[in-house]
Amino acid sequence: MFKPSRRQLLFTAIGAMSVLAARDFFLLYCRGVARNVPDFFASLDTETLDAAKAVGSRVARLHPGFGAEPTLVRLLESRPLLLAAHEESCVDTRQAMIQQQCCEDFADGRTVVVDGWVVSETEAQLCASIA
């Protein structure tokens, strides 16, 4: 029968704590990594509006209920940054708030796959509501 010494137990505990600390470090680091978040939600011109409508129609086809009023109400209630962005008059600030919300969606695993693209639920809902 194996009987570990104090030294072995100590090194095992240190090793386990190091692995957990490294894992937590990388999870925190990944939250700060810049994502390729579309900018077309902040100020929609004709080109970006057409792109948002095209994505929105695909989202609505693949995920029924997205973009519907009850779903949008729940989305706004659960994501205060979107509500604040809606009331923001500065385009740059509004864009930063929406991008932050999309990054939080990715960090929390709230994503949707649309035609092979992984988009945040916020992006999908906004596009579906435009379509």
Domain boundaries, the chain: 1-32, 46-130
Q: Write down the residue that tokens 């080109």 correspond to.
A: 47
Q: What b-and-e string marks burial along 55-65, b requiring 16 or more CB atoms within 10 Å of the CB?
A: bbebbbeebee
Neighbours of 32 (CB within 10 A): 8
Q: Is the pLDDT confidence value at 40 over 50?
A: no
- Ramachandran angles phi, psi of 90, nearest 5°: -80, 125
Predicted local confidence at residue 123, as pLDDT: 84
What is the pTM (predicted TM-score) of this model? 0.58
Neighbours of 129 (CB within 10 A): 18
- What are 47-88's pLDDT values in tens digits? 667 777 888 888 888 888 887 888 878 888 888 888 888 787
Q: Are 15 and 23 in contact (CB under 8 A)?
A: no
> Distance between CA 117 and CA 27 in Å, rounded?
22
